Structure 1
Amino acid sequence: MSHVPPALFVALTELVPELHVHCAEPWCLIGSAGALLLGADVGVADVDVLVSRADADVLMTRWADRRDASHAPADGDRFRSHFARFRFPGLPVEVMGGLELDAGEGWQPVSPGKLVLVGLQGLAVPVPALDEQIRIFESFGRDKDRARAAALRKLRQPPSVLPIVSSS
């Protein structure tokens, strides 16, 4: 994938094999990295990984020496999870175990829905499917998330229209 910036590529080549080995439950990349891997024109400042709470514990133990203890997640009134930020080559990695969102109706789990695998230099990277990512970004409701949803909508294929042919 030529559209993957070098910093993201470096982070993913180290991160993804670790996730495949150490996560017992399904995981995926969400946020800007997930959107970019589907082809959206978005910037990526970090890699957001959605995992189970149990897998977050495993990763926090495994990567204890990489943990950025000084980082506090933003929007704590809207999001909660078993959270940690880690220093990886290229970009920081944020692990969100059991991510929940409160959009005014109480805490609800953030479900990735249908996942697709994106191939990246021999790596299989799970991300939510296009419509699932749009749904997730829209549910988050922040300006940056609405912009990412709009970038993803541009990737939707128009309905197939066959030309009408008449023979006269």
Structure 2
Amino acid sequence: MDKNKSKYEELVDYLYLRSNVDSGFRADLRRAAVPVTEHYCWDVLHKFGLNINSDLERRSGSLVASIVGSNRYKRDGKMSIGAALAKCYGNGASSSAAELKMRRLLAVRTNEELCSVLRPLLMLISSRTNQPLDCKRLLKEMVRFENDREAIRVRWASDFYTRSSVEK
């Protein structure tokens, strides 16, 4: 393991690396999108030091694993969740539909609620954008969400309303 990388970064790198060469593994990651079958990725989460006894780390890790398994990209991206949501609509943050979805995301209070709100948003983002999400950043934000909620929400809103971050 690289000493300069967090366990979350190491996990995401491994998920991309292995899913690019192992279609069965990729299928297991896709199954992690649904809480009933998220256990298909628990072994990998545990291997990288995520506490699967913790709802917070298990749900966050499973959801990010499902993103990696479901997307068509070979490596992690640079696009934040806020920028990606704006990019889903032709007129970006000016779109009333995009704004509604962002407001719902910003109203989230718990990690459990965050995961349930993110699931459909991630499917929308995957179907409407041509750039990969920054899964490393998203996983770190999800794990820290309940302790650093305000700063994370401000960052998401800033990325959503700043058109230049969408173009990067």
TM-score by length of 1: 0.35
Query: Which has the higher Rg, Structure 1 or Structure 2?
Result: 1
Q: Which one has the bigger strand percentage?
A: 1
Between 1 and 2, higher relative CO (CA 8 Å, sep ≥ 6) is seen in 2
Q: Which one has the bigger helix percentage?
A: 2
